[in-house]
Structure 1
Amino acid sequence: MQTNAILPFALFFAALFSPATLAQETTLQVGVVQRFGDEPTDVLTLSSSPGGALTLTFLDGTGQPQTLTTNNVKLEISAQPQREPVLQEWIVLSDRATFETAEATAQEWQKKGIEVEITQPGRWQVWAKRDVYTTPLLRRLLLGNLKAQGETEPYLQTQLLPAKPKVSFVLGGYRYNRDEIEIRAGNNAIRVGEGNPPQKSYLYGGSLKIQPNAYGNFTLVNRVPVETYLRGVVPHEIGASSPYASIEAQAILARTYALRNLRRFKADNYQLCATVHCQVYRGLSGTAAATDRAIANTQGQVLTYNGELIDALYSANSGGVTAPFTDIWDGAERPYLQGKIDSPQPPWDLSAQSLSDETAFRRFIALKEGFNGNSGNAFRWDKSRTLEELTDDLNRYLQRIKHPFGTVNRILKLEVTARSPSGRILTLTVQTDKGAIELQKTEARSAFEPPRSTLFYLDPIIGADRTLKGYRFIGGGFGHGVGMSQYGSYNLANLGWTSRKILAFYYPETQLEPLSESIIFYRSDGERTKE
């Protein structure tokens, strides 16, 4: 994990570059297929565009570079038997729903003198760093020491592999088995299909590399200039038919978010993913004239606060009130991410009527007019779930996080026991036959199916026999609610607001400026606290 105050991202730049050129020259590494080989039947089909050809480069058996040319290639998984089983082992220190909270947890472990890395085998996890705790003895000594200090969350993940997977393909009648393969196309356009036959396919600019990850399988990484990357993000995050000022605002946020978050997959040797855990990215598939124009018109523009790229967080719909950073994640507060009524003419005074009060919160959720985004179908919602369904939800969650309870037989009660001034649930207490479980912040969404955000309250469903049968989840918004509401931005754009004004509304005290080598991409919470 990076701990120095200024990351070495300035290496991307040269002083003579203009801001537009800086943006064009910055290359991202995006994991577009993150778990290739998770199933032994996984198949990827790569093909060139008409008139082009693929060039595959890899090391041969003697360690020398070898190059092959083809129009298409099918990548499969080949299990290579080992004389002795291969030990794959690591210590999981913490398991969290989001990268942001995992990163804050990682910094706490570091304060205790533990070297760590952040991974995402499913949920986000903090591991004891593998290249520090390199032997079974060291790992067991560390785990024993942590248990002796009263730590209950860490555990050892161990498996013996009788065979090691390799990426396999056939060209010229010969089968190749390799760990890493670089794939380029003369016209910088490669189509990737997943499945056999392909169930979906996307066209990617730049180049591709298949490489090992931290979990014993492989990642297909797209190396792509940031402005080309944005062409595959903006239409899928905001929609090409959105009001134009909203699209411009989204382009600036997507650029800022990507450049700030290059550390997310350091443990896997790439930078970003292509899913909602980062930003949805589909390469050159689905590009549109409106979004391309917004990207070009904002080229190189980013949002900063005190000379650092901001945490450019955004969600689909705030439900009428945005949330501060710490309502959703652990870590230091971001002054520019504030809890405020999402409206140019607020129908609710948040300073006079805090939404931490349950009665006030229910009155707020009953309001359906006067907010940005109130025309969206996720602005208000009401979902019911039986106790049996909720128990199934909870047990799946407990098994994912390896909770000491294992599974429970039944839920006795759900109760919101802490709520923030912006209305977000801070603690949801679940009473079960095995005891109480406290779900903090976004874990309330991870544990149960109904919530579309943490902006909700619970109403018990009582049967004719006067016993508890389930709960109604009544709330608003879709997503975490921090930063810009995409549906909210539509309303502001339709009112004639510019992208600059929209961004100033959702991220007060920030600066919109051209990308330059003087901008800090990321400063850790620990360094921020020292200041």
Structure 2
Amino acid sequence: MSLRRLLTVFIILALGAAFAAGLTVRVLLEETGLATVRLDGRHSLWSWAGRLATVDGPQTYRLIADEQGIAVTCDAPPCPLSGHVGNLLSLVPANGFIRVNGSDYRGYLRVVWRDGRLLLINKLDIEDYLRGVLPGEVPASFPYEVLKAQAILARTYTLSRLGSNPDYDLCDTSRCQVYLGADAESPRYDRAVRETAGRVLAYDGRPISAVYHADSGGKTAAAAEVWGGNVPYLQSRDDPWSLDQRWRVSTSPDAVSRVLEQLGHPVGAVSGLRIDGRGASGRIVEMSVTTDRGELRLRVPEVGRFLRALGLPSTLASLSGWTFSGRGSGHGVGMSQWGARGFARHGWNYREILAYYYPKTVLTHYQLSASR
């Protein structure tokens, strides 16, 4: 067996062992100065130094960030913890949910003080996390095969992000993956997570960067068109069943100038826009902006940030004067959720859908513990 093949097998076995041990994910729910956290049953409170208190009944905690760290008060006596607790506090229910600013979550809450703000981080089992991701990423009315494909992609994307930040792995918005917590769970989504448990897409023995989007507008984008750099399994693909809705976005010289300043280009007055280059899918990869300080050239990936900041749903667009006309929604790379819906309605299963949008990848199954 070659060294490369041996390494691939080792990585797959190592990931399988991690799942069996109970893999967890850290999700940033909010960055704030004030939070309300409620636990209804037995729970414990922890700091860096260890357990601070064990509480047998319900309690609501108010957490405040000040110059000294995390300050804690309670809604009702007896308060097991009051005053400053340093720069970390974990609130761990013995069972059930934890309510954070009015929403329920599984797992527990880790609160980290950073530069006068509170990072509210939900730490939980990856499979439980996915139960709150699917409802935020794909409509329940979509074919069940799409829900299963989405569960595999969300799990794979999560694996690829573990350890990406010292404090958390993912946020709960579309910048990472939309995560709605326990409030959004439903039997149909839960079933899709359960029936695909442990399955991920891999390339060269590693979980892929499993990006996806809402609608391609008829053709998905290669990774190089959006972020720069070629990725073998993220290439442009025809997407015949995309929603393909048309949109128009009008802008102005003042709006363009403001956006460029936000991106670090204080150009002054703007007098024109021009599309200079397109990628394999037809998306804009290069533009020029005419200003009173000369011509500014924008290329990938900055041109995408520029167009999104102007309000364009995607970069698959044309330009007439100060008005963009285009198709699609999202960055366009990987699976198009509306496109997958069309494939499923025409008889494709989740394996076929994933193989189409992510060529050269392998669907790998990991054995999970029976407790899931």
Aligned length: 353
Contact 2:218 2:328 in 1 (8 A): yes
Q: Deviations over 1:74-102 (max 9, x none)?
A: 333353xxxxxxxxxxxxxxxxxxxxxxx
1:514 is the counterpart of 2:365: yes
What is aligned with 2:3?
none
Is 1:443 matched with 2:302? yes
* Alignment correspondent of 2:175: 277
Q: Identify which of 448, 457, 469 aligns with 2:318.
A: 457
Contact 1:320 1:342 in 2 (8 A): yes
Equivalent in the alignment of 2:251: 385
2:352 to 501, 504, 529: 501
Alpha-carbon distance in 2 for matches of 1:446, 1:498:
34
CA contact (8 A) 1:397 1:446 kept: no
Confirm or deny: 8 A CA contact 1:265 1:271 kept in the other structure: yes
Identity of aligned residues (%): 34
Distance 1:10 1:509, change over 3 A: closer
Query: Which of 28, 31, 40 does residue 31 from structure 1 map onto?
Result: 28
- Which AA in structure 2 matches 1:177? H
Distance in 1 between residues matched to 2:111 and 2:11, nearest whole Å: 25
Structure showing greater radius of gyration is 1
- Aligned amino acid, residue 84 of structure 2: N
Change (3 A) 1:248 1:12: closer
- Distance in structure 1 (CA, Å) of the matches to 2:216 and 2:196: 25
Where does 1:103-118 land on structure 2 (aligned, <5 Å)?
none
Alpha carbons of 1:29 and 1:398: their partners in 2 closer, same or farther (altered >3 Å)?
same
1:429 aligns with 2:295: no
What is the CA deviation profile of residues 105-153 of structure 1, one whole-angstrom value per residue up to 9, with x for unaligned ones? Answer: xxxxxxxxxxxxxxxxxxxxxxxxxxxxxxxxxxxxxxxxxxxxxxxxx
Deviations 1:316-353 (A, max 9, x none): 0001011111110033x11111112112xxxxxxxxxx
Take 2:367 and 2:296, find their aligned partners in 1: how far apart are those partners? Answer: 47
> SS at 1:285's partner residue?
helix
CA contact (8 A) 1:23 1:300 kept: no
Paired position in structure 2 for 1:258: 158
Q: How far apart are 1:270 and its partner, in Å?
A: 2.0
**How far did 1:12 drift?**
7.0
1:77 aligned residue (44, 64, 71): 64
Q: CA RMSD in A?
A: 2.6
Q: In the alignment, what sits opposite 1:202?
A: 103
Question: Structure 2 counterpart of 1:176, which letter?
Answer: G
Over residues 344-385 of structure 1, what are the superposed CA-to-partner deviations in whole Å (9 max), with x where a residue is unaligned?
xxxxxxxxxxxxxxxxxxxxxxxxxxxx123x6xx3212222
Say yes or no: does 1:184 pair with 2:92: yes
CA distance in 2, matches of 1:285, 1:327: 37
Q: 1:223 aligns with which of 98, 123, 133?
A: 123
Task: Report the Cα distance in structure 2 between the residues aligned to 1:324 and 1:476, rounded to whole angstroms.
Answer: 16
Going from structure 1 to structure 2, the CA distance change for 1:249 and 1:258 (only over 3 Å counts) comes to same
Could you say which residue in structure 2 is the equivalent of 1:67?
Answer: 53
Distance (Å, rounded) in 2 between the aligned partners of 1:78 and 1:452: 36
Query: What is the aligned partner in structure 2 of residue 373 from structure 1?
Result: 242
> How far apart are the structure 1 equivalents of 2:182 and 2:98?
9
Gap regions ≥5 residues in structure 2: 1-6
Shift in Å at residue 165 of structure 1?
4.7
- Spell out, residue by residue over 1:30-87, the C-alpha distance to the aligned partner (whole angstroms, 9 max, x if none): 1122x223xxxxx2111124xx23322236xxx56421525233333353xxxxxxxx
Query: Matches of residues 1-400 of structure 1 in structure 2 within 5 Å?
Result: 14=17, 22=19, 25-33=22-30, 35-37=31-33, 43-49=34-40, 52-58=41-47, 65-69=51-55, 71-79=58-66, 164-171=67-74, 172=78, 175-178=82-85, 179-193=87-101, 201-213=102-114, 215-266=115-166, 269-331=167-229, 333-343=230-240, 372-374=241-243, 379-388=245-254, 390-391=255-256, 394-399=257-262
**1:209 to 1:78, Cα distance in 2 relative to 1, 3 A:** closer
* Distance in 1, Cα, partners of 2:70 & 2:351: 47
In 2, the alpha carbon distance for the partners of 1:427 and 1:23 equals 46
One-letter code aligned to 1:74:
Y
Give the aligned partner of residue 527 of structure 1: none
Give 1:505's aligned amino acid.
Y
Question: Does the 8 A contact of 1:24 with 1:227 survive in 2?
Answer: no
Query: For the Cα contact (< 8 Å) 1:247–1:294, is it kept in 2?
Result: yes
Quick one: which amino acid aligns to residue 398 of structure 1? E
Given that residues 240 and 288 in structure 1 are in contact (C-alpha distance below 8 angstroms), is that contact kept between their aligned partners in structure 2?
no
Residues 1:176 and 1:286: Cα distance change in structure 2 (over 3 Å) = same
Task: Label 1:456 to 1:231 Cα distance change in 2 as closer, same or farther (>3 A).
Answer: same
Asked if 2 retains the 8 angstrom alpha-carbon contact of 1:12 and 1:26, the reply is no
CA 1:387–1:186: 2 relative to 1, 3 Å: same
Distance 1:67 1:13, change over 3 A: farther
Q: What is the DSSP-based 3-state SS (H/G/I as helix, E as strand, rest coil) of the residue aligned with 1:479?
A: coil
So what's the TM-score if we normalise by structure 1?
A: 0.62
- Contact 2:11/2:205 (8 A) holds in 1: no
3-state SS of paired residue (1:482): coil
- Where do 5+ consecutive residues of structure 1 fail to align? 38-42, 80-163, 194-200, 344-371, 461-470, 518-531
TM-score, length of structure 2 as denominator length: 0.87
CA distance in 1, matches of 2:341, 2:105: 29
